[in-house]
Amino acid sequence: MAGKPPIGKPDLNRLRVRFGKDGRLAYLGHLEVINTIERSVRRAHLPFSVGNGFARRMRVQFSQALPVGAASCCEYYDLYLTERTDPDEALERLKHATPAALAPTEAAYVGGRLPALEAWLTRSSWEVRLLGDGGGFTADRLDEALNSLRAVGQIDFMRGDKPRSIGLDNTLVGWTACDGAAEGSWRSIDLSLKTRSSNLGALRPAVLLEAAFATEALEGAALDSLRVTRTVQCHEDEEGSLIDPFDERLLVAAP
């Protein structure tokens, strides 16, 4: 589960793993992903560390939850091991033990005292394909709608039966939209979106686009479906520089 690094455990080895989420498994919820990865780690026979609490859970931290239905090529978890296993060997074991649609693609050891992934990964990039119809279903109209939302500065929406709101001044970093190829009778728009998260919340593409299609700019346009893929997760430092989770400055070489 996501959280702070184990305190008083300098002997633990922190293995960072990048994995994807695609196909039908894109519809797994975050807790289901966690449970699947934990079972895969057990099947890989890696020497994982176990917490000292009542539940005795595996010591593993995950990056921020991906919206259900969204795909990704850049999800992460940090697995704490009691013994250092060669990272290439660990990666191969995990590949064979994990469902293909959640397959790991990279693994390396990082510093044990680094912040937890969920809080540290503050920037995301998304690729979104929108399908719909209507005279207003164009990239220019979508661009106009997003600009109008950013001018307002906030989106109010419902999460289940509870009202929520998210500010856009900090969370909506930027976007580009272009008209895509037609798919049968449907028009398409390709949207590249950059977002920022903090302890105040994270902006989900579906929430942003639902609000966009409720604006006057997209009046008469009907959105049929979204295909959302997260393509980048990284850390933004105080100077605005972006740091990859596998940046060489974070890695720990073999002793």
How confident is the model over 149-198, as pLDDT tens digits? 999 999 998 888 888 899 999 999 999 999 998 888 899 999 999 999 98
Give the pLDDT mean for 89-98: 98
Cα–Cα distance measured from residue 126 to residue 129, given in angstroms and rounded to the nearest whole number: 10
127-139 pLDDT tens trace: 999 999 988 899 9
Residue 223: predicted pLDDT: 93
The structure's pTM equals: 0.91
Question: For the chain, which domains are there?
Answer: 13-119 (3.30.70.580), 123-236 (3.30.70)
Range among 43-57, 160-174, 222-236 with highest mean pLDDT value: 222-236
Residue 11: pLDDT band (50, 70, 90) is low
